[in-house]
Chain A
Amino acid sequence: GAVVSQHPSRVICKSGTSVKIECRSLDFQATTMFWYRQFPKQSLMLMATSNEGSKATYEQGVEKDKFLINHASLTLSTLTVTSAHPEDSSFYICSASKPGTGYDYGYTFGSGTRLTVV
């Protein structure tokens, strides 16, 4: 159990367009989801925390109007990169959490989305 599906795995978009990334918890309800960004040869950097039914909490330096997060249900969170630019090219990874069910169950990661903006 505790599978998180992330889609798409790779996306190439033109500069100025928007891209939506989906994160789904397949076999559990995720009250909290986390979005990370990872540049080449670097660590995962937390972008935002989203709780189902409420606004996301963004980390310092992350533009909330550029990285729109929606967590409208207990199994789906989406990250939309708006007006993408080449510097937004990165590996985006989500993590889903269901507090109270054990730590390893509570921090399951998706397989990541490689975004390339040309």
Chain B
Amino acid sequence: GESVGLHLPTLSVQEGDNSIINCAYSNSASDYFIWYKQESGKGPQFIIDIRSNMDKRQGQRVTVLLNKTVKHLSLQIAATQPGDSAVYFCAENQAGTALIFGKGTTLSVSS
């Protein structure tokens, strides 16, 4: 079946840098995308979402970009902090069906 994938498995940044985490999706029918943060031993924590009729959405220190032409999603974290260290997953679905998760990127922030 179709699935969501990620370009890079790990990302190491210095505190204060901006982080960019990428995601490629294969289901062109997907109309909703979410980024989740998962810390060790915990469930996924919602970060930001975007619908397919949008190209960009901003939250607090985070921005999600959606490029439907190449089926690419990215999460930008501004001024990355040690507390941002975690595994980040993109997820996608269509019309209220179950979310399908990508493989995950481990973000490591050093001070």
Contacts and interface: CB of A to CB of B under 8 A. Distances in A.
Interface of A: 6, 32, 34, 36, 42-46, 49, 60, 91, 93, 95, 97, 99, 103-104, 106-112, 114
A109 B43 contact: yes
A114 B32 CA distance: 29
B103 interface: yes
Contacts of B36: 109
Contact of A46 (B44, B100, B102, B104): B100
B89 A103 contact: no
A97 B96 contact: yes
Overall SS of chain A's interface: strand
Contact of A109 (B44, B98, B104): B44
A104 to B, nearest CB: 5
Interface of B: 1, 32, 34, 36, 41-46, 49, 51, 89, 96-104
Contacts of B98: 34, 46, 49, 95
A111 B32 contact: no
B46 A104 contact: yes
A106 B96 contact: yes
A118 B95 CA distance: 40
A43 B104 contact: yes
26 contacts: A6-B43, A34-B98, A34-B99, A43-B89, A43-B101, A43-B104, A44-B44, A44-B101, A46-B98, A46-B100, A46-B101, A60-B1, A91-B41, A93-B43, A93-B44, A95-B98, A103-B49, A106-B96, A108-B46, A109-B36, A109-B43, A109-B44, A109-B45, A110-B43, A111-B42, A114-B41
A103 B44 contact: no
Contacts of B100: 46
A6 B43 CA distance: 10
A33 B44 CA distance: 15
Contacts of B99: 34, 46, 95, 107
A36 B98 CA distance: 10
Nearest to B51: A103
Nearest to A91: B41
Sort A-B residue pairs by CB-CB distance and give the 9 closest, nearest first.
Answer: A109-B43, A44-B101, A112-B43, A43-B101, A111-B43, A34-B98, A109-B44, A99-B96, A43-B103
